[in-house]
Chains A and B, each alone.
Chain A
C-alpha cells in the first residue's frame, strides 16, 4: 500500500463519518430552502426554477465543502501526527495529495446527494452520456481547484489562534455567499440592480453555472464550455501552485 493510499484510507475512515451527514444534508437542505424561498419570487422565464437552480447549488456546496477543507487542513497540519508525517521519508506533498483525494470522494458524495434531491423536486438531466460526463468532470475540476486553495489557506493559518479554534472557515463564508448569491445561478441578470450587471454576468460562478445548466439540458454553446473550461483550468493551475508552495513552506 502506498503512502497516499494509506493516508487517504485513514482520512476516509476517520472523517467521513462525521463529515458525511454534512456532505449529504448541505446540498439537500440548500436546494430545498432556496427552491422554496425563491421559486415563486424569481422569474426565470421558460425554464422551471428547480432546473435553473440546481447548478448553483452544486457550486455552493462545493464552496461550503471547501470551507470544511480549510479546517481539516489546519487540524491535519498542526497535529502531532502531521508533524510526524513531515519527518518520514515520503514526499512533502503526500499529505496534500491524500487530502485532495478525500475532497474528491466527498465531492462525488455531495454531487450525488444534490442530483437526487434535485430529481425529487423536478430537476432532470436531459442530455446524453457525453453531456453527463462533461458535467461531472466540470464539477470535479471545480471541487479540486477550490479544495486546493482551501487547503493552502488552512495550512497557512494553522499556527494562528483563529486556526486553532476552527474558525478560519467562518470568515470565508462572506466571499462564498457573495459569489453564489450575486450570480446568474440564482436569478437571471435582470433581477439584479443595473449597476451590478457587469459583475453578475462575468464572474466565474455565473459562467460555470451557465455551462452546467446547458449540459444538464443537453444543449450547450461551445463558447460557454470554453469560457468555463478556461476558468477551471486557470483556477486549478493558480490554486495548485499556491497549495504546493504552502505545503512546502512550513517544512
Chain B
C-alpha cells in the first residue's frame, strides 16, 4: 500500500491506515463533523442560554460545569451515530467485503474504525471545551486532570461505537439507529446536573444516580473543577469494561457476517 518503513506493530500501523481512510471520508462529506462538533457546540450554547440564568437563580452555581461534559459526550454519541448511518451502505455496496479481502490483518479494519472514532472524540471534546471556556468555564485542574478529562469521553465513545457497529451491520438501513441515539443522549442529559436532581420526582433519583452516564459526567465535572474523582471514575471504568465485554463480541461477529456477505450487488 505504501513504501514507508513498517512500524514496530503492524496491527497498529494497518489500523492507522484504515483510520486515515475514515478521516479522508469525513473531510469530504460534512455529516460526521457536523454531528460531532457543530451540533453539540450549538446545543451547548442554546441550552446554556435557555437555562443558565434560571439554574443560577435556583442553585446559585453555574450549570456550565455540567453542561460542557454533557455536550461533549452527547456530541461523541451523535458523531458515532452519523458514522453508523453509512455502515449499512458500505456493507451493501461491498466496501466492507473488499476490506475483508485485503492482505492485512482482518481485525485492523475494525480497530482502525475505533481509532478514528477515538481521535474524532478527542478533537470534538477539545473544541466543545474551548467554546465552554468562551462561555465562562474555568478549567481549574492541572495537566493530569486535563488529560483524564479528555480521555473519559474517548473511553465511553469506543464502547458506544461498538454498539452502533453491532446494530448497523445487521440493520437494513440507518433509521434504527435513532432508537439507540435517543435513550443514550437522554441519559447523558439526565446527568448534566441541570435540572438539579432534587427538582425531579423522587422515584427517578435511583434511576438517575445509577445509570452509566452519571459517573462519567460527574468525573468530568470534578476534573474541570480541579479535583480527582476516584469513585465516579472507577464506576465509569467498570461500566465501560462491562459494556465492552457485552457488545464487543456482538460487534465483531456482526461485522464479520457483514464483511463476508459480499454486499447486495456485488
Contacts and interface: CB of A to CB of B under 8 A. Distances in A.
Contact of B175 (A18, A40, A41, A171): A18
Given A173-B39, A177-B43, A191 B86 contact: no
Nearest to A26: B182
Contacts of B82: 167, 170
B178 A167 contact: no
Given A22-B178, A166-B174, A196 B49 contact: yes
Interface residues of A, number: 32
B250 interface: no
Given A41-B199, A43-B54, A170 B43 contact: no
Contacts of A181: 46-47, 49-50
A116 interface: no
Interface string B193-234: 011100111001000000000000000000000000000000
A38 B173 contact: no
B140 to A, nearest CB: 24
A165 B84 CA distance: 10
Interface string A29-47: 1000100111111110000
Interface string B80-103: 001001100100000000000000
Given A162-B30, A165-B29, A166-B174, A40 B42 contact: no
B200 A36 contact: yes
Contacts of A178: 42, 46
B130 interface: no
B237 interface: no
A159 to B, nearest CB: 14
A162 B29 CA distance: 7
A193 interface: yes
Interface string A122-137: 0000000000000000
Contacts of B50: 181-182, 186-187, 191-192
B51 A38 contact: yes
Interface string B16-41: 00000000000001110011001100
Given A42-B51, A170-B82, A182-B46, A161 B178 contact: no
A76 to B, nearest CB: 15
A222 interface: no
A120 interface: no
B31 A167 contact: yes
Nearest to A39: B199
A174 interface: yes
B5 interface: no
Contacts of B144: none
Given A166-B173, A191-B50, A177 B182 contact: no
Nearest to B89: A165
A38 B46 contact: no
Contact of A177 (B42, B52, B194, B200): B42
Contacts of B34: 170-171, 174
A186 to B, nearest CB: 6
Contacts of A167: 29, 31, 82, 85
A251 B50 CA distance: 45
A65 to B, nearest CB: 13
24 contacts: A18-B175, A22-B178, A37-B195, A40-B58, A41-B54, A42-B51, A165-B89, A167-B85, A170-B35, A171-B30, A171-B34, A173-B39, A174-B34, A174-B39, A177-B43, A181-B46, A182-B46, A182-B49, A187-B51, A187-B54, A191-B54, A192-B50, A193-B49, A193-B53
Given A165-B29, A167-B29, 9 more contacts: A29-B182, A40-B199, A41-B54, A162-B29, A162-B31, A164-B89, A165-B86, A174-B39, A192-B53
Interface of B: 29-31, 34-35, 38-39, 42-43, 46-47, 49-55, 57-58, 82, 85-86, 89, 173-175, 178, 182, 186, 189, 194-196, 199-201, 204
